[in-house]
Structure 1
Amino acid sequence: MSALTKVFTDEIRKIEETHWAEMVSKPYRLTHHLMPPCGWLNDPNGLSWYQGRYHVFFQYSPFEVKGGLKFWGHYSSEDLINWTYEGVSLYPDSPADCHGVYSGSALAEEETLHLFYTGNVKLDGDYDYINNGRCANTLHVESKDGIEFGIKENVIPCTQYPEDYTCHIRDPKVWKEGDRYRMVLGGRRKDDHGAVLLYSSRDLKQWNLDGELTTEEKFGYMWECPDMFELSGNEILSVSPQGVEREEYRYQNIYLSGYFILRDGKVFKEDFREWDMGFDFYAPQTFVDKKGRRILIGWMGMPDAEEEYVNNTLEEGWQHCLTVPRELKYCNGKVYQYPVEELMNLRRWKKKLCDADRETETDGAFDLELQVQKGPAKVVLADIFKLEYRDGILVLEMDQQAGAGRRTRKACIEELRSIRILADTSAAEIYVNEGEVVFSVRFYGKGTKHRLKIEAEGFRGGIWKLEKMSITRCL
């Protein structure tokens, strides 16, 4: 451990120790969403199944609740509901990442867990840090136990990127395909055209540039957090575009996250479909677990949007969380996403709901499932939000105080068949039609008890109280 790493480690342990005891006592602290012990959390990173455990790393600024110098925090679990906080795994402690350990991915092999990430370096001087003044290196580290990581290797220095790209190249996602390794990197070309760079390697050390993927017509100036995978025989590219003009029924956030289903190895603008229609979702990443499931986790936050989204957790000394793990399935030309089945183990008592039971009271975190007959429908969580479907339009409308800047989001669907709501103390994930459409949102209501009202011509379902996930700290 270098002297700088030891300084970071000691200071982070001190501040985490102060906040850890408060994690269960603060009113907005969450019960079934991963969050930072203190400070700021953003992108999920290094998602993997390795040596009998799930590993979830995340970008972490422990010293700054509004974001700052980035590290990688680390959670692990055997079952996705009982978690251990493993502490900080990667530090900005080398010349190639001295201004931040930025996003990246994991490649789990039998004896080794490989992490690839972007090392951020900003030069001192009069720079715009887009076309000059920034170095974004692609770094590689290895671990034999998933906890301790070895020497950092700069496998793609910033000087080796294509000349027609800006300094904004980042977020490597690595996987194995046949007898070679592949990587995608998100990028911003000098003509302000978002794209993904494709690389390949035989040994994880030497990487060759194979080309790029982008739309013929410009679709945003930057594509962040790329992910490429196969699902039911379909090749899928997931990206988070920046700079796409907003519309009423789509592209409603300042930045987007969505996917293309490739056609003949190409992407087309008209094929882009958003992962999540809510206010708080960005930078998702996927991985395959021991059961062969493709699982997605996203950041329940939004960068560069402080004027639109007030986060009342700032006073508690922390900000942001991750979504619950979602299993992906391909159906009818779309990718559906739904909470992993393990979360049902948090369910406790159940109250059945039907046409005769249109109102009930919730207390704390809950899991609601409804099957709805065709026609208009409305679900109201008093003082928090209203979800209403009518004439092919689904509208999520937030209470003014609970929304804290969040107001309305819309989605177009042909019909409404089902609704599932996973509600936490200050976060909700709404799954429509078994995950055909999803809304993720943070909220800040008064107290934990709320009246739930359902309006529909016919419905049946149930509501469960949710136990807290177990989160322990590795000392």
Structure 2
Amino acid sequence: MIWTKEQRYRRIEDADKEEILKLQTEVEGCEWRQTFHIQPETGLLNDPNGFSYYNGEYHLFYQWFPLGPVHGLKYWYHTKSKDLVHWENTGIGIEPSGVYDSHGAYSGSAIEHEGKLLILYTGNTRDENWVRHPFQCLAIMDAAGKINKVEQPVIDHVPYGYTDHFRDPKVWKAEDEFYAVIGAQRENETGCVVLYRSKDLQNWNFEGELQTSLSSFGYMWECPDYFEMQDQGVLIFSPQGLNPNGDLFQNIYQSGYILGEPLDVRTGTLTHGSFQELDRGFDFYAPQTMLTPDGRRILVGWMGLPEMDYPTDKNGWAHCLTLPRELWIRESKLIQQPVQELQVLRKQQHDIKDVLFDEKKVYQHFNGASFELICEFENIDAETFGVEFRAGEKEKTILKYDVVQRKVILDRTFSGEPFGEKYGTVRKCSVDGSKLKLHLFVDISSVEIFINDGEEVFTSRIFPGAESQGIRFFAEDGRTLFQASKWDI
């Protein structure tokens, strides 16, 4: 189906009950609905927004177009949790109903201030010639969960030297002042991030552009997120327009970070190392982080990508969010691990320990469509070893280690209904070491893989048939000792 501009910019209030009911029925009939991931009730989900802790609960919003699996008029949808695992949908958080967000409530962030949750987001507007005019808007949520928008934008223009691609404010507080980074595009069509400062979240001063060593690195930087941990400064962002380079930058758009000295807010200088991708898989974008009450830095990403068609589109919905991940720094690298709270999802545990010698084996209880799996390999002289999951007669997703190349390889060539093949069906990254630990969270239509306790992560959607539930362990051209634990979810 080709969606017209008018269809994409319809409001949910313009759809009658019959249309909504029909769409809900299509979605509920989809074989690829997830079981333990945040997903839209209908329509399209994209960027996580406003990830925060307020009034005893975690709050997470996401970009949402309710009327179909396309990018259209964006709302903020609100979900909340007490434990980062069980999420309660509370409905629309911000609707694009004002002069300054008439064509979409775009991405942003939230911070607690004076007993309320203040939400800073980009209001998208279009003029009669369909030219974009972005505004940075403020909304305030009270302890009862009621959200009111401030009538006037708090940043009402794009600074000189930048285009109308100017969005996604991420706010934080340092001492007695607030700061925000905003993704931007220079007039020469290169990407960057700019910095603002405020005393009260209402009146903002433009402090200039963040000074990095990436002066020409893609044409737009989306969803910036700055924070400090372990005495270092981290800038996460999603650059668009990078060319593939070996195993790097294989997706249509990328997400990653630069890490170095804390940001000098007086000069805007960020002294840092090289840009590193956050995720090595096929479907990961626009992540956002928050700080928990006990001091952990937690990340959630969009498990999807812009400008891509997905097999669930025909059922009237698209995309989900990743599981929450705890971050820390090890040897100048961000490490990601699933938050410990997720262990409450575990049902009965099954364990195996065996030696594989040039063979592929299956084991009792090691199967399923929704599970957590941890496997460790050591004493290896095989050239290749690993695991196949969501495997059936003709389908399988392969996760393996190539000893010669010293690379972990995720292969979804035979994972089920194909999509995104223009960007390849294999992802790789280099991992050294004589032991390998693979930690998988497999849901009905996704997998999140943590390598060596979060040294690398692969996030991907997969769309196998319901009957493809096998798990197979293998070694080729030699032997390996392995042990594995599996929990149904």
In the other structure, the counterpart of 1:316 is 315
In the other structure, the counterpart of 2:186 is 189
Q: Does 1:62 align with 2:66?
A: yes
Contact 2:354/2:483, CA 8 A, preserved across alignment = yes
Q: Measured at CA, do residues 216 and 39 of structure 1 come closer, stay the same or move farther in structure 2, by a change above 3 Å?
A: closer
Could you tell me how far 1:264 is from its partner in structure 2? 6.4
Deviations 1:82-136 (A, max 9, x none): 22110011111111010000000011235100111000011122x6xxxxx2111
Deviations 1:153-199 (A, max 9, x none): 4444442x221101111000011110000100000001122110011
Aligned equivalents of 2:16 and 2:377: distance in 1?
A: 49
Deviations 1:212-247 (A, max 9, x none): 124344111110000000121111000000011112
Q: TM-score w.r.t. structure 2 length?
A: 0.87
In the other structure, the counterpart of 1:228 is 226
Match of 1:302 among 270, 281, 305: 305
In the other structure, the counterpart of 1:470 is none
In the other structure, the counterpart of 2:346 is 347
Could you tell me how far 1:370 is from its partner in structure 2? 1.1
Could you tell me how far 1:67 is from its partner in structure 2? 2.1
- 343-352 vs 146-155, which moves further: 146-155
In the other structure, the counterpart of 1:111 is 115
Aligned equivalents of 1:53 and 1:264: distance in 2?
A: 29
Contact 1:39/1:67, CA 8 A, preserved across alignment = no
Could you tell me how far 1:299 is from its partner in structure 2? 0.2
Q: Measured at CA, do residues 14 and 267 of structure 1 come closer, stay the same or move farther in structure 2, by a change above 3 Å?
A: farther
Identity rate, percent: 37
Unaligned runs of 5+ in 2: 1-10, 264-268
Residue type of the partner of 1:392? Answer: R
In the other structure, the counterpart of 2:456 is 437
Aligned equivalents of 1:110 and 1:49: distance in 2?
A: 14
Contact 2:100/2:153, CA 8 A, preserved across alignment = no
In the other structure, the counterpart of 2:8 is none
Q: Measured at CA, do residues 287 and 374 of structure 1 come closer, stay the same or move farther in structure 2, by a change above 3 Å?
A: farther
Residue type of the partner of 2:388? Answer: V
In the other structure, the counterpart of 1:461 is 484
SS at match of 2:101: coil
Unaligned runs of 5+ in 1: 1-6, 128-132, 467-475
Question: Which runs of at least 4 in structure 1 moved beyond 4 Å after TM superposition?
Answer: 7-25, 266-270
SS at match of 1:302: coil
In the other structure, the counterpart of 2:213 is 215
- 453-462 vs 144-153, which moves further: 144-153
Aligned equivalents of 2:295 and 2:470: distance in 1?
A: 39
Aligned equivalents of 2:338 and 2:319: distance in 1?
A: 19
In the other structure, the counterpart of 1:334 is 333
Q: TM-score w.r.t. structure 1 length?
A: 0.89
Residue type of the partner of 2:386? Answer: K
In the other structure, the counterpart of 1:471 is none
Could you tell me how far 1:343 is from its partner in structure 2? 1.1
Q: Measured at CA, do residues 72 and 408 of structure 1 come closer, stay the same or move farther in structure 2, by a change above 3 Å?
A: same
Q: Measured at CA, do residues 333 and 245 of structure 1 come closer, stay the same or move farther in structure 2, by a change above 3 Å?
A: same
Contact 2:12/2:67, CA 8 A, preserved across alignment = no
Could you tell me how far 1:27 is from its partner in structure 2? 1.3
**What is the root-mean-square deviation of aligned Cα atoms in Å?**
2.2
In the other structure, the counterpart of 1:377 is 385
Aligned equivalents of 1:282 and 1:370: distance in 2?
A: 27
In the other structure, the counterpart of 2:7 is none
Q: How many residues align?
A: 449
Contact 1:403/1:442, CA 8 A, preserved across alignment = no
Could you tell me how far 1:269 is from its partner in structure 2? 8.2
Aligned equivalents of 1:238 and 1:96: distance in 2?
A: 27
Aligned equivalents of 2:163 and 2:374: distance in 1?
A: 47
- 9-18 vs 403-412, which moves further: 9-18
Q: Measured at CA, do residues 50 and 429 of structure 1 come closer, stay the same or move farther in structure 2, by a change above 3 Å?
A: same
SS at match of 2:343: helix
Contact 2:29/2:315, CA 8 A, preserved across alignment = no
**Superposition map of 1:13-412 within 5 A:** 26-109=30-113, 111-125=115-129, 133-145=131-143, 147-159=145-157, 161-213=158-210, 214-263=212-261, 265=263, 266-267=269-270, 271-304=274-307, 306=308, 310-355=309-354, 358-360=361-363, 361-373=366-378, 375=380, 376-381=384-389, 382=391, 383-390=395-402, 391-400=405-414, 401-406=416-421, 407-412=425-430
Aligned equivalents of 1:17 and 1:55: distance in 2?
A: 27
